[in-house]
Amino acid sequence: MTPKRSDSEAAGLRDFLKRVGSYARDLIYGVPPDKYLFHYTDLNGLQGILSNADLWLTDSRYLNDSEEMRHGYAVAKRVLDERTANEGDPQKLEYLGKVRELLGKPPVEAVYIGCFCLEGNLLSQWRGYAGNGSGVSLEFDPPKFGQITGDDSPSRGLMRLWTVFYNEETQTSIMNNALQFGYQRPGSLDERAKYAAEAIFFFVPTFKHNDFHQEDECRLIFTPPPDCTVAPRFRVSRGMLVPYYSVRDLTKGSFKLPIKRIVVGPSPHRDLNAASVKAMLAASGIEGIDVETSKTPFRA
């Protein structure tokens, strides 16, 4: 069995997130007033979200695009290589070596994420995540996620809503800060290396190559606490058994999804799908959600 993250390691990660939040754009407080979050999904996903009033946070190791994770680890490796090449202090060199060793192993605890973006009508998203245009994008009100994030999160874990970082300088800065922060923590070199590795594991899923910056993505990220009383669930996807957490489970059903609007994708059946979505909302007794169709011309 994989050992659980200790309370001290969790506290160290929480402190580091606060430090990064002081200079990085945290979506809870940093989204412009006219911006919302959009989650693209196919019709099965929509049915599950509305029927269960729930969102799923997936183990980041099982993302659809494994290249995303490789990019984040490549940034961490490059920063470690640069610091090692320029470091003359034997103790710091040993510390960097221990961090490198930890990053070569599976993380003590997985990081679970839900994906959103700031644009609700992107052709690439329709194709990749919304049933090749036959699905929907759900529009969410970002500040209302403040009820389940931060230090008062009902999950008792580390729940944060973060931008995806595309700028290489920003990614490098966060990695350098993680290494510096870990080294300055109290404890043995092994303990300090764990602090740094935990911070890096958290941020790896938030790093993407700058070529994808137009997606303007953001992610709801959950790190389970050492004594998490909620168990992950599992689903079958792409020939794998994929672990995930239910937001409804984590909040004991106390969080109402802040859905403002549903945009039906640009398939040939968009009008029929829109009518069905409206009927589903009415049958479920869900009010206050607008339903529109995408005007994007699209040929599957």
pLDDT digits 0-9 by tens, 137-183: 999 998 888 888 876 677 677 888 888 889 899 899 999 999 998 99
Structure tokens at 188: 């043995």
pLDDT in tens, 86-138: 999 999 999 999 999 999 876 656 789 999 988 888 888 999 889 999 999 99
C-alpha separations of 255 from 30, 50, 52 in Å = 22, 13, 12
What value does the mean pLDDT take over residues 58-78? 82
User: Whole-prediction pTM value?
Assistant: 0.83
User: Does residue 69 register a pLDDT over 90?
Assistant: no
pLDDT of 28 strictly over 50: no
Mean pLDDT check: name the lowest of 108-112, 218-222, 274-278: 108-112
pLDDT at 162: 82
> Cα–Cα distance between 111 and 113 in angstroms, integer?
7
- Per DSSP, the three-state class of 4 is coil
User: Distance from CA of residue 74 to its chain's centroid?
Assistant: 19
Query: Is 300's pLDDT higher than 70?
Result: no
For residue 14, pLDDT beyond 90:
no
**Average pLDDT over every residue of 196-212:** 87
pLDDT at 22 (0 to 100): 47
Which amino acid, residue 129? Y
Predicted pLDDT at 237: 86
Using alpha carbons, select from 143, 142, 139 the residue that is nearest to residue 49: 139
**What mean pLDDT is reported for the chain?**
85
Report the pLDDT value the prediction gives residue 29, as an integer from 0 to 100: 40
pLDDT above 90 covers what percent of the chain?
Answer: 48
Burial class (CB in 10 A: 0-12, 13-18, 19+), 294: buried
Task: Tell me what the mean pLDDT of segment 199-221 comes to.
Answer: 86
Cα 10 from chain centroid (whole Å): 18
- Pairwise pLDDT comparison (221 vs 56), residue with the higher score: 56
